[in-house]
Structure formats: C-alpha cells, structure tokens
A = this chain, B = another copy of it.
C-alpha cells in the first residue's frame, strides 16, 4: 500500500478493515451524491455507539437559519447564519438474526470490503457476519445516488446464509430523528444552529413503503422523503413519532442469496406545498422502483462513462496520484448543483463543514474545471449568482455603497452569513472573482445570450461597486486605490490595495465596459434594455475604464516585487521554520492580531494573481514573486498548494510543481489537513485538475483562445486530458 490510506487502484477506493478511529473521515471519503442529494458514507444500519460517526443526508441549498449572536455587535454585521441541514434519513436498513442486530461496531464481521467505484458510480460493501449464535451470513450492500433520477437513491441488500437456513429479519426505515452533529470549536467548521431542527415528521404510506414530511422552523422549508421497496411482501409497516419502519421476516436458505431493493427520493420546497412535495417524492421513489435497480446502476455507468470521456484525464508514472485525481473529479461531479438555485458547497454534499456554504471556491477553482469538461455545469453555477443578485444589491447598500452589488462571502440562500467580517465580508474580491468567471465562461463558450441576458447585469453591478469603493488617491500618485478589504490571503486582513483585489477589480471594470460595448455593436436592443433596467448613467462606462487603466498596483522597485498590499513589507517576517509544527494551522494557535502583524500568508494571494492574469507579468516577475511568497506561505488553506503548483510549473520548476501537486491530489484520501471528517475540500480537488491542465500542460485561455506550454515532471511519464 506504499503508505497510502487506501490501496492504489485506478478506479476504486477500497477499505478492507473497519476502524472506529477513521469512521468520520471515511464517511466523507465514501460519500455519494448527484449535486442535488448527498449521502455521507454512513453504514445503513448505523452504529451501536451513536457518537461514533457523523451520519448525514444533505440536500443542496436546503438550509435553516439562526440569528447570529455576537459578543459585541456592530452595524451591518451578518444577521443570520444559514446551515445546510442534516435531513430525514431514509438510508436505514437493519438485519437481525435470532434477536441479534448487525452493527459494524458490535458484531463479529469478517471478509469486510467497502469500495467506491468511480466508473460505476456505486458504493459496495461486502462482509460475512458471524452471529453470536454461530451462524454465518454474507451481506452485500450496493448503494447509489442516481444521476438519471436526480431526486432518488437506491440500495440493494443481498443476504446469503452461508451455513444455515431459517429466519432473517430485515427492517428498512425513514428516520426523522436527525440533527446536525458537527460543530466543534473550529471556526472553519462553522457555528450555526445546533440540535434537532426539523419538525416531527408527518408520515403517510405508499405502495411498499412510506413518505414523510418535515419542516424547518425559520426558513419555512419542507423536506419530503419517500421510500419504497422491491422485495418480498413485507411483514408490517409501522410509524412511531420519529420513524417509519418496514419489516420483513425472510425465510432464507443456505447458499441462496435473497435481495431487497430500497428506493428513496427527496423533494424540498416551501412548507406551503407540503402535500405536493410528498406526492412528488413518492412519485420519484416509485419511478426509481419502476425503472429498477439494475437500470439505475446502468445509468450511473453511462453518466460516468461520459464524464470520464469529457475529462479524459490520464496520468502515467504515479498511480496513487492518478487515483487521487480521479477521486477528486468524481466527487466534484457528485457535489455540483446544477439547478440554478444550488451551487457547490465548500465541502460539497459530503459533510457539515463550513455549514454547506458557497464561497469564491466555486468561481475560482471549481468552475474553470467544469468549463472545460462540461460547460453547461459552469453556466448553472453562474446562474446561481444571477439568482442572488438582488441580495447582493441589498448587501451593498447595507455596506454603505449607494450603487452596485456586493456578493456575500459565504452564503447558501444569498445573504451574507460571515460572522467574522475581516475574513468574510471584507473579501470584496469575490465580486471580481464572479466577474472573472463570467469572462472566462463567455470567452470559452461564446455564449453571448448568457452575457446579454444575465452576465452583463452582474458585470455592471459589480463594476459599479468597485467604482464606488475605490478612489483616486493623491497620496498614491493619483492612482485608483481600494482600501480596507481583505484579499484571498486571510492572514493579512483589512488591508489597503491588496494587489490581487486591485488587479481583479480592474479586470471586472474593464470587462463590464467591454461587454456593454460589444452589446452596443452586436445586440443594440439588449444593450438599450439593460441600460434602462439598470438606469445606467452616461459616463459610468468611461469611469470604469479610467479606473481600470489607473488601478494602483503595489510594487517595490528595489526588489522588483509585487506586494500583496500596501503595508506588506512593513510587517515583521515570521520565519516558518521557527514556528513549532504543532502550531499549524496558525489560526488555531495565534490570535488574529498576532497573525496580521506578521509577514506570513495562509494561502496563495499574489501567486494566484500570477496564475489568473498570466499575461500581465513577465516570467522573471513571476519567478521573483513565487520565491518571495513561497517562503512566507503556510498553506494553512487547502486552496493554496494547487496554485503554487501551477506557477512552479510555469517558471520551470516542474519537480516543485509536482511536489505541490502531490500535496493536493490525495489531500482528502490521505487526510493531510486532518479535517476530512468534516467533508471533502472541493476547491482543492478542482485545483488538482488545474495543476495538470494549467500547470503541467500550461493551458491558458484568454480572448485569443487556448494556448499550451507543456512541461513534464521527472516523476511522470505522460499525462493527458480532454477539453470541451
């Protein structure tokens, strides 16, 4: 196994033993999802010790709010948290023989194997249960979250008595007794609501199963959950306060497999539509049952065959990294929302970390990958931003900007949820990141309908925000300056002229102006309509262009370095080698003031600008910057190393690029950040795809099209990928 957590295999993640210590991490790794519905890799039957795992079922964008309590509040602090809920659990299936119920943490179990198959899109678990009464059963669970039936999941349980015949009892449940479980004292996990939050379920029966509805309290959302089965005639269907249980007493024969297929489906929406939601969930479950488990299985393979074909990713010379890379791409597919009202949570649908919030991770890391693999998904992600544009306008007003829109740093439904503004609301760059993603999308797809119908409106409103925020500072040679924001690097907060922000704001301003010009020339009516809708004043475009052209760029002549912000060189260097290893990540061991005082970076910031705006810097500038910031960067953010890998490749340090790539490709598989239990790191996962494409292959897209500048690290023989 070469020291890796799971056996190296091109398409599978497999574990062959059960260890209580890794339960939570493995729940994240073995997650299943389809962008709408996510199931953590919890065992169907649950544990005897209820505190062992973080069982989780998540619906993308389904959340509850809670008033944020501050020790000391100030004006326009985010008012409410939004937390992706752990919803109704329809996965429960238990097997009982002679009064003993099987549990991974209590039963004698041999020949255990659990495998996530990334070509088949299923999770299988196979084991032999040796009961206390001396009987042996083989059990096989095959679980999938359907790509073809996006509201449905299915489980096939096959039991084979190895040395007896007689009765085996099986129960299958909808369990409404669920709550969010993760919220330790780690600010990165989040601190939203705790405890049970869904109302007691209302149950109804449907053919071969049942349906439940449960409501949130504050957001007034309802989740409907249905289950039905393809199985021998059941013994009973019973509902208690919180559970609905279907039971079978199966007569089993030695050596003869017997199967139960469970189909479950979720719908969510306003509590006003509870009945319709229950009906739709029931229909979706019945439709999955009607299709049948084998057809669903085949659908998974088809979807994945197309996905792997679109991605075409290959890597020769390091199978462990190839495994990691595919694992990453697989989970990105599983997590990305595509209905316009959902997006990609920082941890996908794989855990409660970051409360299920959407960040800039989407536009800056995940979207570029989809853009080149399955561009329609990229569009869906941008449509989500268009959907929350009004919230962003409102937020801009709250933040004192009479014009424009300010996208929230973290949100689900559209409102700012960051309870620590220096590393939250202050990260205005998210506006420019979204604008940049629109630019990339439009350049790559030439989808000018999107630009005219949606993109341009976002571009105008974000450009207006920068125009209001920045000013021509006589103290900086009359250049256009942006003060009091936080760049990507959260270890230098609320600074003046963050170089990344200024550069990206200039892109935003310029591209907004370009878009209006293009529309005027090519879609004059659309342009007029937009001007009218947004009450665009004469001179706004001119002002944007002027600001973009006169943007202030902090630069140190003496060293030839672009400076992360105005005061960066004024801070005290903090040689990383003097910091005890156990004090990383710094944010968990030093007060923010200590961190902010030092020349230390959590993540790529200036180095990210080098990557995104490749044409703007000479190779020599890139080399200088890379070397300077590399020495100061802790990579305490999982978003960091992938970017360093790309620039390392560009400046000719292929082996260093490869080394960073190694640090990212298996980050979650090997749990190198010690928090995979809270969910997988989506942005880093997408970053590893960029390491191969933008890094090793030197792929770069701009208005002139696509270019490549490939390099090959010594450790690799070959790599390949496909772009759409």
Asked if A593 contacts B399 (CB within 8 A), the reply is: yes
Asked if B421 contacts A593 (CB within 8 A), the reply is: yes
* Segment 459-514 of A: residues with Cβ below 8 Å from B: 471, 473, 475-476, 481, 483-485, 494, 496
Distance, CA A419 to CA B591, complexed state (A) = 13
Distance, CA A566 to CA B483, complexed state (A) = 13
Distance in Å from the Cβ of A620 to the closest Cβ of chain B?
A: 23
Is A78 part of the contact surface with B, judged by Cβ < 8 Å? yes
Asked if B590 contacts A75 (CB within 8 A), the reply is: yes
Q: In the complex, how many residues of chain A place their beta carbon closer than 8 angstroms to a beta carbon of chain B? A: 53
- Name 25 interchain pairs, CB-CB below 8 A, sorted by A: A70-B71, A70-B419, A70-B420, A71-B81, A71-B419, A72-B187, A72-B420, A73-B185, A74-B420, A74-B587, A74-B592, A75-B588, A75-B589, A76-B590, A421-B593, A425-B593, A471-B572, A473-B570, A483-B567, A483-B570, A484-B593, A484-B597, A496-B567, A566-B567, A566-B570
Distance in Å from the Cβ of A551 to the closest Cβ of chain B?
A: 15
Most buried by B among A81, A185, A591: A591
The answer to whether residues A74 and B484 also contact, given A400-B590, A471-B572, A592-B421 and a CB cut-off of 8 A, is no
**Top 9 A-B residue pairs of the complex, sorted by shortest distance between their CB atoms:** A71-B419, A484-B597, A72-B420, A76-B591, A400-B594, A72-B419, A68-B71, A69-B69, A483-B597
* Segment 342-366 of A: residues with Cβ below 8 Å from B: none
Asked if B566 contacts A400 (CB within 8 A), the reply is: no
* Segment 120-151 of A: residues with Cβ below 8 Å from B: none
Residues in chain B near residue A471, CB distance under 8 A: 572
Asked if B473 contacts A593 (CB within 8 A), the reply is: no
Distance, CA A515 to CA B496, complexed state (A) = 40
The answer to whether residues A418 and B484 also contact, given A471-B572, A570-B496, A591-B399 and a CB cut-off of 8 A, is no
Residues in chain B near residue A594, CB distance under 8 A: 399-400, 484
Distance in Å from the Cβ of A327 to the closest Cβ of chain B?
A: 30
Residues in chain B near residue A165, CB distance under 8 A: none
Residues in chain B near residue A73, CB distance under 8 A: 185, 187, 191
Distance, CA A241 to CA B625, complexed state (A) = 72
Distance in Å from the Cβ of A13 to the closest Cβ of chain B?
A: 33
Distance, CA A73 to CA B68, complexed state (A) = 12
Is A398 part of the contact surface with B, judged by Cβ < 8 Å? yes
Is A571 part of the contact surface with B, judged by Cβ < 8 Å? yes
Is A6 part of the contact surface with B, judged by Cβ < 8 Å? no
The number of times this chain is found in the oligomer is: 2
Asked if B570 contacts A475 (CB within 8 A), the reply is: yes
Residue ID in chain B nearest A410 by CB atoms: B72
Residues in chain B near residue A572, CB distance under 8 A: 471, 473, 483
Distance, CA A631 to CA B427, complexed state (A) = 31
Is A596 part of the contact surface with B, judged by Cβ < 8 Å? yes
Is A29 part of the contact surface with B, judged by Cβ < 8 Å? no
Is A118 part of the contact surface with B, judged by Cβ < 8 Å? no
* Segment 67-105 of A: residues with Cβ below 8 Å from B: 68-78, 81
Is A426 part of the contact surface with B, judged by Cβ < 8 Å? yes
Is A569 part of the contact surface with B, judged by Cβ < 8 Å? yes
* Segment 524-573 of A: residues with Cβ below 8 Å from B: 566-567, 569-572
Distance in Å from the Cβ of A71 to the closest Cβ of chain B?
A: 2
18 further contact pairs, Cβ within 8 A, besides A74-B587, A75-B588: A71-B78, A71-B81, A71-B419, A72-B190, A72-B420, A72-B424, A75-B587, A75-B590, A75-B592, A400-B590, A473-B570, A475-B569, A475-B570, A476-B570, A485-B593, A494-B494, A494-B596, A566-B570
Residues in chain B near residue A597, CB distance under 8 A: 483-484
The answer to whether residues A71 and B591 also contact, given A566-B570, A596-B484 and a CB cut-off of 8 A, is no
* Segment 169-207 of A: residues with Cβ below 8 Å from B: 185, 187, 190-191
Residues in chain B near residue A419, CB distance under 8 A: 70-72
* Segment 386-401 of A: residues with Cβ below 8 Å from B: 398-400
Residue ID in chain B nearest A73 by CB atoms: B187
Most buried by B among A72, A421, A484: A72
Distance, CA A376 to CA B597, complexed state (A) = 40
Distance, CA A78 to CA B72, complexed state (A) = 11
Residues in chain B near residue A418, CB distance under 8 A: 72
Residue ID in chain B nearest A573 by CB atoms: B471
Encode A413-425 as 1/0 by CB contact (under 8 A) with B: 0000011111011
Asked if B494 contacts A191 (CB within 8 A), the reply is: no
Residue ID in chain B nearest A417 by CB atoms: B71
Asked if A591 contacts B72 (CB within 8 A), the reply is: no
Distance in Å from the Cβ of A713 to the closest Cβ of chain B?
A: 37
Distance, CA A559 to CA B691, complexed state (A) = 51
Distance, CA A481 to CA B70, complexed state (A) = 32
Asked if B74 contacts A187 (CB within 8 A), the reply is: yes
Distance, CA A399 to CA B476, complexed state (A) = 34
Residue ID in chain B nearest A485 by CB atoms: B593
* Segment 53-70 of A: residues with Cβ below 8 Å from B: 68-70
Residue ID in chain B nearest A572 by CB atoms: B471
Encode A593-609 as 1/0 by CB contact (under 8 A) with B: 11011000000000000
